[in-house]
């Protein structure tokens, strides 16, 4: 933090530079010809020792907070600095999305279990017999359209409900919190995580200087960083990740009574991840892994299913928690407010055309129906402006709502006309309201007719750029998340931080980040520091609480850590997720000429009976002979498949097959790599000899996820199924690494 003396010197230098800079705004002649060219030096910008300004040159006093009606009040449209900043940000990329550029989509239906009339007048949440069509788009955030699906990243989880009352867009992520508390910081966050502007490196990765420089100066990001460094950021499948609305919204019922609500999506297959080494290899083997997985599951009739859950908080209980409901860097622990599962989402149809549907779908957090309303969450408030603006730039027209994938199933009647790519043919000569020529049509709708009526929240406050003191706790929930993880999950967080910060070239940023981690958990900081070859600062630099402007004394508003009443929360650990099914899991069977066809068929039937699928991998494509002379067509060769694309590995017997596989280095690598990534491995008959010759077998003593049966008994299939259902044997990571 610069001293006041330093600031005064900077002011003098800035004045001098500004005067000199103005003189360079002139046209110069090129030597040797009569052509004129603009002096490009005037177009160069360097912010060193300069004040922050708007695009009009106005110096900004507070770049941390949007203008609100009171510290916890609604964000004001008057905030020209917020609007200029976000407008510029929204228009920075064409034509792909600035964030969430890479996605995959699917059609489906939603059906509520029981009427929610007590809480909301939204009709699609009141009638259990009604199916509401939906379109869902999953996405990564940081990468471009051509990046990999398996980047360590937040995943978007956006759902468009085509209700009879209009479209409702629930635009969320697979992580329930966010990096920042106020939308005015969103452009800064994304600029920091995107490829660095001088060389456009790295793509779809946060492991670089600018991201961690920003994060280390924004302690409010501490909680989100714990989630991002966890296995939640590398999901096994879109079908196996949670979704969250992130913000606190409101339900409003027919009587006008409001209830705070947090939205959750719970996948029925459970929440599962891949290993980080595995994710990096999948990116090379199949960068479309998640897209392909979603597409194939739906084509196979294995429709992804999620339950919609809500956490409901009465208005009078708004301030009873240790955190602020309007703070998007906080969750409501399920121990305090249980998640009620109120309905089911089923994805049952793939798009007919990727561009027309998945690419052109336009979500907007402000697309709501009567019975769903907003709160004064300052991040949510900024998004309410940003989404329409960015769609205007990306899709090039105010008529993006007329693109088929965006059309409301409810009739649309208003006096909007014309514009680029207008498709509606409006009849009549009236395009204004009120009017008498058209009999006053279209009419305003009363509340009893479904007319949207904004919740009448009392507003009585000063216009300020500030943040409520209730937003100043940045570390307690980060600590809660870390403490709630299993030992294996904690190890993965440590490894992720070592990897990410190990890619940071500026040592001072690493050290500052260790100071942040120390305030989350001292043991975590020590472990990360050991991997970086650094010491945790004994007295870490107190990170500025970015909730004040230039005129505020930072010492008076330092971050605080509130003592949490909950030490651990079981739902935060994926170790506690669903582990009783192998539905849709992909198992590789390694075969060569002379393999035991009966053993393979027996295993295949057992796996398919549980909803899994078995695919054969052989040294070559085409027909592979069984030991009794029958032919089986190989699904993949070792060149077209890899262990990272499967959930488990099976090696059937057959002396000739095992002899041939023993001469294939790729076959040994396949098993060793699956072992390293903690997957289930099974072998029967002579296949036991092959697995016993791998490094995996030598390290697999008492490993219940390695099933070896020389007689090919049925119990081997049962044990294999149980091991696959556990997803991974993460305890295997404590043994010596397998070379793979």
Nearest alpha-carbon partner for 472 in 552, 401, 409, 557: 557
Q: Give the 3-state secondary structure of residue 739.
A: coil
Could you give the C-alpha distances from 576 to 175, 388, 579, 727, in angstroms and in order?
17, 39, 8, 12
CA distance 75 to 376: 7
539 is catalytic: no
CA distance 284 to 529: 30
Q: How many CA atoms lie within 13 A of 519 on its CB side?
A: 25
CA distance 309 to 107: 20
Task: Please list, in sequence order, all residues whose beta carbon lies within 8 angstroms of the beta carbon of residue 306, skipping any fewer than 6 positions away.
Answer: 243, 265, 266, 267, 268, 344, 345
Provide the CA 718 distance to its chain's centre, in angstroms: 35
List, in sequence order, every residue forming a beta bridge with 38; answer none if it has no partner: 27
43 is catalytic: no
- 65, 100, 367, 677: which is the annotated catalytic residue? 100
DSSP 215-261: HHT-GGGHHHHHHHTSGGGSBS-GGG--EE--S-EEEE-TT--EEEE
The helix (H) or strand (E) run that includes residue 285 is: helix 276-285
Maximum distance among all alpha carbons in the chain? 92
What burial letters (b/e) apply to 494-520, b meaning 16+ CB within 10 Å?
bbbbbebbeebeeeebbbbbbbbbbbb
Backbone angles phi, psi at 68, to 5 degrees: -130, 160
Contact 329, 474 (CB under 8 A): yes
List, in sequence order, every residue forming a beta bridge with 252; answer none if it has no partner: 258
List, in sequence order, every residue forming a beta bridge with 307; answer none if it has no partner: 266, 344
Instruction: Show the tokens assigned to 469.
Output: 């003191």
- 173, 174, 376, 729: which is the annotated catalytic residue? 173
Q: Give the 3-state secondary structure of residue 107.
A: strand
Angle, helices 276-285/487-502, rounded to nearest 10 degrees: 60
In the β-sheet with 613-618, what is the strand arrangement from edge to edge?
Answer: 636-637, 613-618, 586-590, 648-651, 680-684, 706-709
Catalytic residues: 100, 173
């Amino acid at each position: 933090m610069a001293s006041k003396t330093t600031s005064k010197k900077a002011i003098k230098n800035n004045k001098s530079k500004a005067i000199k800079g103005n003189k360079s705004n002139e046209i110069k002649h090129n030597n040797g010809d009569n052509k004129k060219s603009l002096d490009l030096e005037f177009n160069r910008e360097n912010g060193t020792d300069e004040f922050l300004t708007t695009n009009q040159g106005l110096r900004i006093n507070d770049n941390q907070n949007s203008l609100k009606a009171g510290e916890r009040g609604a964000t004001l449209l008057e905030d020209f600095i917020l609007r200029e900043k976000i407008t510029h940000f929204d228009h920075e990329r064409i034509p792909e999305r600035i964030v969430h550029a890479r996605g995959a989509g699917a059609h489906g239906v939603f059906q509520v279990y029981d009427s929610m009339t007590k809480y909301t007048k939204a009709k699609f949440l009141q009638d259990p017999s009604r199916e509401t069509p939906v379109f869902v788009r999953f996405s990564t955030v940081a990468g471009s359209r051509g990046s990999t699906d398996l980047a360590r990243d937040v995943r978007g989880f956006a759902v468009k409900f085509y209700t009879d009352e209009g479209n409702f867009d629930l635009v969320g992520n697979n992580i329930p919190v966010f990096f920042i508390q106020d939308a005015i910081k969103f452009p800064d966050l994304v600029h920091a995580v995107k490829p660095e502007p001088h060389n456009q490196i790295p793509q779809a990765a946060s492991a670089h200087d600018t991201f961690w420089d920003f994060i280390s100066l924004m302690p409010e990001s501490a909680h989100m960083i714990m989630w991002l460094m966890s296995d939640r950021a590398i999901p096994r499948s879109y079908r196996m990740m949670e979704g969250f609305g992130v913000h606190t919204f409101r339900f409003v019922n027919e009587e006008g009574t409001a209830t705070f609500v947090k939205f959750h999506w719970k996948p029925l297959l459970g929440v599962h991840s891949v290993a980080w080494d595995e994710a990096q290899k999948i990116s090379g083997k199949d960068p479309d892994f998640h897209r392909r997985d979603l597409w194939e599951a739906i084509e196979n009739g294995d429709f992804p299913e999620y339950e919609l859950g809500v956490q409901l908080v009465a208005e009078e209980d708004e301030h009873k928690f240790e955190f602020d409901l309007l703070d998007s860097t906080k969750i409501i622990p399920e121990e305090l407010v249980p998640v009620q599962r109120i309905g089911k989402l089923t994805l049952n149809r793939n798009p007919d055309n990727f561009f027309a549907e998945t690419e052109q779908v336009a979500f907007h957090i402000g697309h709501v129906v009567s019975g769903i309303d907003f709160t004064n969450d300052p991040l949510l408030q900024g998004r309410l402006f940003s989404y329409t603006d960015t769609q205007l730039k990306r899709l090039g027209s105010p008529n993006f709502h007329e693109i088929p994938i965006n059309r409301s199933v409810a009739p649309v009647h208003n006096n909007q006309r014309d514009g680029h790519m207008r498709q509606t043919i409006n009849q009549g000569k009236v395009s204004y309201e009120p009017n008498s020529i058209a009999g006053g049509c279209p009419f305003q709708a009363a509340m009893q007719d479904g007319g949207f009526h904004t919740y009448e929240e009392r507003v009585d406050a000063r216009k300020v750029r500030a943040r409520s003191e209730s937003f100043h706790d940045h570390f307690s929930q980060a600590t809660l998340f870390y403490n709630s993880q299993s030992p294996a999950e904690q190890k993965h967080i440590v490894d992720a931080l070592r990897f990410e910060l190990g890619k940071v070239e500026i040592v001072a940023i690493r050290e500052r980040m260790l100071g942040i981690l120390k305030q989350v958990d001292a043991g975590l900081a020590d472990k990360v520091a050991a991997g970086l070859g650094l010491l945790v600062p004994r007295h870490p630099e107190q990170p500025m609480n970015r909730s004040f402007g230039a005129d505020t004394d930072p010492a008076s508003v330092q971050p605080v850590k509130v003592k949490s009443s909950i030490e651990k929360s079981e739902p935060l650990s994926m170790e506690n997720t669903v582990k009783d099914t192998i539905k849709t899991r992909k198992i590789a069977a390694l075969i060569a000429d002379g393999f035991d066809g009966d053993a393979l068929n027996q295993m295949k039937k057992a796996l398919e009976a549980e909803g899994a699928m078995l695919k054969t991998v052989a040294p070559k494509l085409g027909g592979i002979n069984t030991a009794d002379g029958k032919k089986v067509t190989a699904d993949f060769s070792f060149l077209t498949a890899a262990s990272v694309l499967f959930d488990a590995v099976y090696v059937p017997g057959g002396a000739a097959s095992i002899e041939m596989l023993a001469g294939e280095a790729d076959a040994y690598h396949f098993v060793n790599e699956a072992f390293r990534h903690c997957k289930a491995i099974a072998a029967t008959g002579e296949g036991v000899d092959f697995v016993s010759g791998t490094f995996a077998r030598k390290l697999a003593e008492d490993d219940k996820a390695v099933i070896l049966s020389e007689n090919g008994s049925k119990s081997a299939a049962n044990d294999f199924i149980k091991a696959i259902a556990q997803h991974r044997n993460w305890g295997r990571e404590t043994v010596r690494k397998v070379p793979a």
